[in-house]
Amino acid sequence: MSSHHRRKRRPPGDRGAVTVETAIALSAFVVVLGLMMYGLMAVLDQVRCVDAAREAARLTARGEIDQAKDAASRIAPAGASIQVDVEGEHIQVDVRASPPGDVVPGVELHAVAFAVREPGG
């Protein structure tokens, strides 16, 4: 067998380097993927807070206060707090929730909607 057909051998200390580098890269990928999924879930829950506040304000403006709170609690993320304030003709609905899993302390999802009472409402 000629010398150019022989395999080069790696030095003994270099054998596990590729495995370690692959493990580190794979771990970093999993962490980034997890953070992206968490961010997507938080964005979806924020949209649910906005939708809940808007629907509750609309129903309250029509005079359907009981239905407003029920609808908002169905739309909002689990455990969200919903506050409906009516001052004269002005309605404000405030929806607050913790992000999914509450991974990042101090972060809160929050949405506010405003409406004006409809005539006869």
Q: What is the pLDDT of residues 34-87, one digit of tens each?
A: 888 888 888 999 999 999 999 999 999 999 988 999 999 999 999 999 999 999
Instruction: Tell me the pLDDT band of 102, cut-offs 50, 70 and 90.
Output: low
User: Most confidently modeled of 7-21, 47-61, 94-108?
Assistant: 47-61
Q: Rounded mean pLDDT of the chain? A: 86
The domains of the chain are located at 13-116
CA 82 vs CA 34, 69, 85: distances in Å: 29, 7, 10
Closest CA to 89 of 60, 69, 65: 60
Question: Residue 106: is its pLDDT beyond 80?
Answer: no
> What integer pLDDT is reported at residue 27 of this predicted model?
92
Question: Residue 17: is its pLDDT beyond 80?
Answer: no
Task: Give the three-state DSSP class for 14.
Answer: helix
